[in-house]
Chains A and B, each alone.
Chain A
Amino acid sequence: MRATLHLGLRGLRAHKRRLLGTFLAVVLGVSFLAGTMVLGDTLKSNFGTLFANAYAGTDAVVRGAGSIKADAGPAGVRAPITASLDQRVAVLPGVAAVAPSVSGAGQLVGADGKPIGGKGPPTTAGNWVTDPALNPYHLVQGRAPSAPGEAVINRGAARSGGLKVGDTTVLRAPDPVRVTIVGIAAFGSADGMGPSTFTGLTLADAQRYLLPRAGEVSTLLVKAAPGTSQEQLVRTIDTVLPAQDEAVTGAQAAQEDTTNVSSGFLSVFTTVLLVFAGIALLVATFTIHNTFAIVVAQRTRENALLRALGAARRQILGATLAEAVAVGLTASLAGLLGGIGVATGLKGLFSAIGMDLPTGGMVVTTSAVLVPVLVGTVVAIASALLPAIRAGRTAPVAAMRETAVEAVGGSRIRTVLGAVAGLAAAALTVLGATRGPSVALTAVGSVLALAAMIVLGPAAASLAVRVLGAPLPRLRGVSGALAARNAARNPRRTAATATALMVGVAVVSLFTVFGASIKQSLDDTVNRSFAGDLAISAPSFGAGGSGLSPRIAPAVAALPQVRNVVALGSGVAAVDGHAVKLDVTDPKALTGTVTLGATQGAVAGLGADGIAVSRAVADRYGWTVGQALPVAYADGSHQSLTLDAVYTDAGVVGDYLVTPQTWAPHRTQDSDTLVAVSLKQGVPLAAGRTAVEQAVAGFGGPTVQDRAQFATSAAAGIDMMLSVVYALLALAVLIALMGIANTLTLAMHERTRELGLLRGVGQTRAQLRSMVRWESVLVAVFGTVGGLGLGAFLGWALVRATDSTRTGSFALPVPQLVVVLAVGMLAGALAAVRPARRAARLEVLRAIAAP
């Protein structure tokens, strides 16, 4: 055991440089993993602290009992409660103070006329709670609002909007409210509740602008008298509440909010990041495996000598594994440190695209330390296992042989196996994409396809390098010819090197194709179903923004240039037990401007006791026209709605349509998400647009777009997501490139004498560098082209497989894919810089005399 360890560590010391690539691959992969976990834990804790602080002085919350949480919403929607309840609660024993609280969405307009925030974090408005014990905010400047139109805003919003005490601006609630800022507030010592914004109005203003009906508030905040516990307080309050209301402790309210964020937004967020960390680690595995395979091959004679001297197989295997463990462990520990940096970097990345996350100290949990170190070490060991077994099998006689024996090509069995797997994968994938469609089938096919690519690698590599390298001799003379031959001399190694890049590029192209197809689908949907001329919207993302003022539609409808206007509002309800987002609209106006495709029943005839749903939804739940659907609302009321119509094109209007009459009794804060406008015959678009823009200018300056702009902006979110995905994949691609550089360095080491010979017979340093560079480019192009092909194919399959209604589109974004190819080539050249420079620096004499 001692000898084994000793040998392994000696090997490590002797080949430090060779294992540098392995080390870096593990460091990067582990950094990403650790960074993701640290960021997740940190955010969770930050959110927890945030909500705990928000309810710090609140011992009980009185609120509507029912809550409906549709997929999109960050928190469940609750109905408001009767404001006069506070009188009843205030007189209860153990109650020290009660404050009515109103909260809703309200986006401030900054000094520059642009809305503040709206790209993720909530933009909130409410009443300024006058009891400091129940208000998590406290004034740092100015005073509390006391008259209509006065507002306190949080310091963060003031800063990013360039607003100060005394300024007048607009609050989109979403109906524009002119407010004068009379105070600036802080949230504890922070500028706000995380990156969210808050506007505090007088209670009367808040009720008027943020709630649909007079005499209601969102919740009651209750403070317990000394000696009364939160639980006791809640029990006491419960005795006086009507059935549709409930009381919970402050601690529970904070906990619920935290859970909402961590199981919703945060879990999606960290899962996505973990997937990319997994891809980076997968790529790292290929790189590490390849390095160890080469190092073991190069050390054949050394290992054979040890075997000849009496070393057991197990000892040679152990020595190689010991090396892997040492590299894996040290690299993982280094990666852990890197993880802190990655966490910071990721946060920066998201804030760079406007998606601010709450701040606070880094939280490093035990699992965020142990898991990455364990994963990194296991990846290193697993990658080295096969080469180590091969090393153990070294025959002692190999010590006497002139050259190292290494299988360079793919065996016939391997090629046949790969071909069979490839065909099966293609069949499964295509079947999943066309029949069914079945995402599961396609997913299995995709994984199989990747495996087939790896198995087929050597066979594909020798073919591809021959084809891709064919023009090189003509382009680069004998250096080009040598580069092509070098890339082809060990197809197994070339394939293993290129596979890492192939995986990275495949994922990149898959997302590119998928993104482009979604954009194309949106574009097609808008073209197909949006028959209007102009669209008015208030772009926002996540929980941000407050929507459009409901008074926009009537204002635009009054214009002489306008033929038809339809507004889409939104609501939530549980339809047949499924919590969903409703689109609320006037069906007659809707059908004048929006085409819904093939329709069963008449959407235009939708009544106050009716509902229309998309074909996708109807098929999923097996609903048919004429059927009665039970609908439950957040306020506890139930209703039976008749399914009046089923329509095909849900892109613009969503999956569930109800009339404003149906929704009105249950509505919370009024707002529209989209107002679509059709101009009268003969009105020029420019003129109509100017008129509409003037008409809506007073409503907080929403965006007015023509059809093409509307289609583009609908897809804008996709581009943002893609850029994040590219940034996350950059790491995997970087690891793959380091793998290429590392393989090249090892190959140069192997070919020292050959390089010396070439220099001896008159190859200039520039020619030698060019030779190395082109070899690298060839390997990179092979990996890139393979990845592009695989990614585009799987992209197509996934697009088809996820499109159950057959209304989506497929797009092959050729320019982007060409860019990926060019980047791959360039990256190959870049990866060769260091190995080429080192090879060119070799002294001729020493190189020729090398062992």
Chain B
Amino acid sequence: MSARVEDAVKIYGIAATQVRALDHVSVEFPAGRFTAVMGPSGSGKSTLMHCAAGLDTLTAGSAWIGGRDLSTLNDRQLTLLRRASVGFVFQAFNLVPTLTVLENITLPLDLAGRGGREREADREWIDSLVDVVGLGDRLRHRPSELSGGQQQRVAVARALVARPEVVFADEPTGNLDSRSGAEVLGLLRTASQELGRSVVMVTHDPVAAGHADEVLFLADGRLVDTMSAPTAALVLERMKAFDRPPVGSAAR
């Protein structure tokens, strides 16, 4: 099991202003599976991802990555865990503007101090990653010289370079046109199917969710449904149900 949360509860604020962002959620993100997390605004989908990735802490329950209970780790251990076992793709601002494309891709390895002989061992892997994302001719460029889609592809390569157990993607296609978005989603799919990673993607785009193996639906902090072998149409259909009152309250 690559990543999971058990009986996860996350409460923001106190007393009257209290908001229950996660309400006893338990999910698993197994290796080799591409999971999409969907739900209306305020459903707790981002909170779920942040807590599962160790970027945020749970109020109750537990989050695990690769057999390690995140609540037992301090900031430094969490950082090292992120570096080694978790890959991130954010909606925007994924790349360090002062570093070249190649340097951005190898950043997690560099931060871990993996140079010299270890780097030689990584070389082939990095080359193959570069091939997969198809940016071999752009390695020396700066992020500002790339299109949005290219930037997100670099981000995916960066997320995979440390051979993490799980890759978390937060609206990775949110700022992209549909073609670039499809390329990025294709890469995430490759990551799960061919490289055997667990890929978790938060999205509100039914088309994006359609690329996943499984879709989880959250509403009001609760896991309300799952869908295997989704298609964009099916997902859209399911999502429309949330818009019908009285199910779900968009306020958070």
User: A residues within 8 Å of B by Cβ?
Assistant: 477-479, 481-482, 485-486, 488-489, 753-754, 757-767, 844-845, 848
Contacts and interface: CB of A to CB of B under 8 A. Distances in A.
B56 A478 contact: no
B79 A478 contact: no
B80 interface: yes
A838 to B, nearest CB: 16
Contacts of A482: 96, 98-99
Nearest to A488: B98
B50 interface: yes
Nearest to B100: A485
A848 B83 contact: no
B113 A477 contact: yes
B179 interface: no
Contacts of B108: 761-762
16 contacts: A481-B110, A482-B98, A488-B98, A754-B96, A757-B93, A757-B96, A761-B107, A762-B82, A762-B108, A762-B112, A762-B162, A763-B79, A764-B111, A845-B50, A848-B90, A848-B93
Given A486-B98, A761-B107, A762-B82, 10 more contacts: A489-B97, A757-B94, A760-B82, A761-B158, A762-B83, A762-B112, A764-B80, A765-B75, A845-B55, A848-B90
Contacts of A765: 75-76, 79
Contacts, number: 71
Given A482-B99, A486-B98, A754 B76 contact: no
Nearest to A848: B90
Given A477-B115, A486-B98, A754-B97, A762 B84 contact: yes
A317 B75 CA distance: 45
Looking at chain A's contact residues, the main secondary structure is helix
B79 A764 contact: yes
A747 to B, nearest CB: 12
A512 to B, nearest CB: 36
Nearest to B144: A403
A762 B75 contact: no
B34 interface: no
Nearest to B93: A753
B88 interface: yes
B79 A759 contact: yes
A848 B55 CA distance: 11
B91 to A, nearest CB: 9
A438 B108 CA distance: 61
A760 B56 CA distance: 11
Nearest to A485: B98
A482 B104 CA distance: 11
Contacts of A485: 98-99
B111 A767 contact: yes
Contacts of B112: 762
Contacts of A761: 82-83, 88, 107-108, 111, 158
Contacts of A488: 98
A763 B83 CA distance: 8
Interface in B31-82: 50, 55-56, 75-76, 79-80, 82
Nearest to A487: B98
Nearest to A850: B93
Contacts of A767: 111
A763 B75 CA distance: 11
Given A482-B99, A757-B93, A845-B50, A763 B76 contact: no
Given A844-B55, A845-B56, A762 B111 contact: yes
A532 B79 CA distance: 74
Contacts of A762: 79-80, 82-84, 108, 111-112, 162
A758 B110 contact: no
B75 to A, nearest CB: 7
A489 B98 contact: yes
Contacts of A766: 76
Interface centre among B82, B83, B98, B162 (most CB of A within 10 A): B98
A754 to B, nearest CB: 6
Nearest to B81: A762
A845 B56 CA distance: 8
A837 to B, nearest CB: 14
